[in-house]
Amino acid sequence: MDGWMIVPGNKMLSALVLFVIVMPFLYAARKPMHGLFISLVRAISGPLRLGSRWMFATAVELRQRNKTVLMAHGREEITQTIDREFERIGALVKRELHGFPAVQRKLMDEITRIEEDYQKSGEVPPPPPEWAKAVSAIAKIRGGGDGLVEKILEDISKSMEKIYDRAISEYRRSYENRHKILKEFSPFWRSLNKEMETVGKNITSLQDSAQSIDVQMDKYKQMVDKTDKAEQTLTSSAGIQFSIAALVLLVAGGGAFVNFFLIARPMSAMVGGGQHIIFGLEAADIAAMVILFMEATMGLFLMESLRITHLFPRINNMNNRMRKRLMWVSFTILFTLAGIEVALAVMRDFIIAADIALRRELVGGAAVAVKDAGWATKIPVAGQMILGFVLPFALAFLAIPLEYFIYSARTVLGVGLVSMFRSLGFLLRVLSVIMKHFGHALTMLYDVLIFPFLMVERFFKKEGDSAGRHGSGSITAFSKRGRTGTTGEHIL
């Protein structure tokens, strides 16, 4: 071990002597060694820099792709929203304005009737006949004491009075009739008012829808133009959707977990207990999970066929007849599975009761009859049955948050990947720079080790330079690169 020691027993001195011996060789190998260091450093820092560039380029490309997907998805969403608005308008027009000619005709009829009635109400009783004027003139003749004339005048006066009374009563009756006609106006006015209000509401609703469409169209335009604002809005919206959907899925997962425990134990009576299939899971557990997955799948199909979710374009594009068939098939299977769960809930109660009885027997030595406490003892089993029936249907609604989760996860994941690529790119760039400086430091360290030789070299070079300047005036043979880059003389 100690064979290298030139001065036996003195490691320090031996090392120093060895170093002094090796120093000329180190000086001789200075250039190749510097080259080796630089090559080594470049071999590491070059790929790092390349990797960094690739990371940044991939991040840019990925962001572009994310943007395209995001915009396409956003356009699809907005198209659906606009479609829905148009459907609403269509339904409104069909329902309300479809009967508009009838309403108009009704309005016109009512207006005509009101006019006629108004005309009628304006009619005055006919004036007294022409002969009444003649009689009136005669009535002005003075009797002059003639009894016959007086009698005639008296008769005329009586006739006139009669006529007057009749005319007055006629006039009053006429007024009464006109008042009646005017009174009959009010329902028509009310009806008119109501019709006009309905028309007004429909028009307002139409205006609202039109405004909403305008807003959506603006957004659509922004998405077509691929503006940064639209991208930010959609990304933020996707992030919120992702969080909400994840939360709802978590809650639904809790429900599924409860459901699993509800049916796993009784399943052992159907498929057998104690038989572990894979990953420590019993056959009963797997069977229970299969039932849960089937319920979730049927729920998914039900939601798809109801066109609530749009995860499967083929189902979505089915004709209405086929879609309805699929809907009924999914519902029937879901209903059947819910029924099976109810039966399993009863079975579970039965098994638990049997287990409790056995344990009591084992502990106490004899079977203890359970006292029947009436309907109260049936509450747990009833609760289990209700849960068993309701949970599969509740699980069906899992499809809605699942769809949101899947679509928003694409965006969130994309944004995450872009960030990751950027961070990695930055990290590689930093590492590359560190490696470069490390290479420099290494070459300088090498020169520090052989500094006496470098000092001598510099001295001779200075001498040579001054001799050259004074003598031939030739320029030094050192290259700029050699002075500053690879030789490392600047440290001395």
Partner 1 sequence: MRIMRRALNAVLLVTLALTLSSCGDSRKYKRAIYLLIDTSGTYKDELPKAQRIINYLLGTMNPGDSFAVARVKSRSFSEKDIIAKVTFTKDPMAANDQKRAFRNKVDRFARGMKRGSAHTDITGGIIQGAMFLNETGAGRKTIVIFSDMREELDKKTKRNFPIEMSGIKVVAVNVTKLRKDNIDPRLYLGRLDWWKKRVLSAGASDWKVVNDMEHLERVFQE
Task: Name the residues that contact partner 1, by CB under 8 A.
Answer: 268-269, 272-280, 282, 351, 354-355, 358-359, 361-363
Q: What share of the chain is helix, strand, coil (3-state, %, to 5)?
A: 85, 0, 15
CB of 314 to partner 1, least distance (A): 22
Whichever of 280 and 471 has its CB closer to partner 1, that residue is: 280
CB of 369 to partner 1, least distance (A): 16
CB of 353 to partner 1, least distance (A): 11
**Which residue do the tokens 């978590």 mark?**
250
Closest to 299 (Cα-Cα) out of 256, 356, 258, 358: 256
Closest to 327 (Cα-Cα) out of 301, 349, 308, 309: 301
Closest to 463 (Cα-Cα) out of 451, 453, 476: 476
CB of 392 to partner 1, least distance (A): 24
Class of residue 284 by CB neighbours under 10 A (exposed 0-12, middle 13-18, buried 19+): buried
Which residues fall within 8 angstroms of residue 446, CB to CB, at 6 or more apart?
A: 26, 30, 33, 34, 37, 488
CB of 398 closer than 8 Å to CB of 251:
no
CB of 64 to partner 1, least distance (A): 34
Whichever of 22 and 290 has its CB closer to partner 1, that residue is: 290
Radius of gyration of the chain (CA): 52
Whichever of 325 and 359 has its CB closer to partner 1, that residue is: 359
CB of 378 to partner 1, least distance (A): 21
Task: Please state, in angstroms and rounded to a whole number, the distance separating the CA atoms of residues 458 and 387.
Answer: 93
CB of 368 to partner 1, least distance (A): 14
Whichever of 131 and 279 has its CB closer to partner 1, that residue is: 279
Whichever of 59 and 283 has its CB closer to partner 1, that residue is: 283
CB of 385 to partner 1, least distance (A): 20
Closest to 454 (Cα-Cα) out of 477, 483, 485: 483
Whichever of 247 and 358 has its CB closer to partner 1, that residue is: 358
Whichever of 355 and 463 has its CB closer to partner 1, that residue is: 355
CB of 271 to partner 1, least distance (A): 8
Whichever of 138 and 367 has its CB closer to partner 1, that residue is: 367
Whichever of 253 and 272 has its CB closer to partner 1, that residue is: 272
Q: Which amino acid belongs to residue 35?
A: G
* Distant-in-sequence contacts of 71-77, Cβ < 8 A, 24+ apart: 71/223, 71/224, 71/226, 71/230, 71/231, 71/234, 73/234, 73/407, 73/410, 73/411, 74/219, 74/223, 74/230, 74/234, 75/220, 75/223, 75/224
CB of 382 closer than 8 Å to CB of 289:
no
